[in-house]
Amino acid sequence: MDATKQDKVLIVDDDDSNLMLLTHILDPEYTVYTAKNGGEAIRAAEKYLPDVILLDIIMPEQDGYTVISSLKSSEKTRGIPVIFITGLSNTDSEAKGFAFGASDYISKPFSPEVVKFRVRNQKKMLDQLRTIEQLSLTDQLTNLPNRRSFEIRLQSEWARARREQTPLSICMLDVDKFKNYNDTYGHQQGDIALRAVAENLAQTLKRPGDFAARWGGEELVVLLPNTNSRGACVLAEQIRRRVEGMDIPCPGRGQTKLTVSIGVHTQVPEHSVVSSEFILEADAALYAAKSREGNKVCN
């Protein structure tokens, strides 16, 4: 197993000779993990999150159909393509496998070229799906995650904070007088300015768990797990000052300036409160900051 290889394959078969042969075929190109029964397969899939799983159908204790049912019922592993490896040659068994969610079949005895082709094909399709998914979750102007991505992350962090009873903070940012800026310098320059603010925001966040996104228009949002109100306000003030101090290039017109207003809200989630109310509280704080002529942090 070579940990430097990025693409990972899990081979599941109770026959040592099959494991050795398939590992020999795939090892030059992939990091290969192996499992000899269904329980090992499920644990390995959840631990290593392989790009492709090769799964034998006929195994003791749990057959391949039982294993793939478990994989497809788990949020962590349901998206991993599964190729059945089998000595069965009837169309009924293939149809059953596809009904359970298999992506392809490889028949025994193995042809090295067929094995390589089918694994590469599944990896290629997976990469395409990942690219599409990434594009659907990324704001194309700022390259920050978009609102949909933020809402997915919020649900995850909200559930964790509620389970662990830890504080969750949110900062809603709005660029002050952005319409006037666009009217003065043009929408193309407005896009340049938004990208500059977004880049500055991303650079301010230091912890891996902190999450910034474009909420929409000239609004950005930051989610701060396990952060109390004081910590969130300190970070918000850092963001405000950094944006205020930026010089934004404007071709033919020198440097331009912008400021932001920020609304901060912190909560330890309870079962009686939903995440949408959490956002509304941050919106109310942002409105308070805007009503005080902007370039303010309010909570």
Residue 218: active-site member: yes
**Full 3-state SS string of the chain:** CCCCCCCEEEEECCCHHHHHHHHHHHCCCCEEEEECCHHHHHHHHHHHCCCEEEEECCCCCCCHHHHHHHHHHCCCCCCCCEEEEECCCCHHHHHHHHHCCCCEEEECCCCHHHHHHHHHHHHHHHHHHHHHHHHHCECCCCCCECHHHHHHHHHHHHHHHHHHCCCEEEEEEEECCHHHHHHHHCHHHHHHHHHHHHHHHHHHCCCCCCEEEEEECCEEEEEEECCCHHHHHHHHHHHHHHHHCCCEEECCCEEECCCEEEEEEEECCCCCCCHHHHHHHHHHHHHHHHHCCCCCEEC
Q: Is the pTM of this model over 0.75?
A: no
Among the listed residues 113, 199, 218, 293, the single catalytic one is 218
Q: For every one of its 299 residues, what pLDDT tens digit does the chain have, with 9 covering 90 and above? A: 444 568 999 999 999 999 999 999 999 899 999 999 999 999 999 999 999 999 999 898 899 999 999 999 998 999 999 999 987 666 677 788 888 999 999 988 899 999 999 999 999 988 888 887 777 889 999 999 999 999 999 998 999 999 999 999 999 999 999 999 999 999 999 999 999 999 999 999 988 899 999 999 999 999 999 999 999 999 999 999 999 999 999 988 889 999 999 999 999 998 777 888 999 999 999 999 999 889 999 99
Spell out the domains of the chain, with CATH numbers in brackets.
Answer: 8-136 (3.40.50.2300), 147-298 (3.30.70.270)
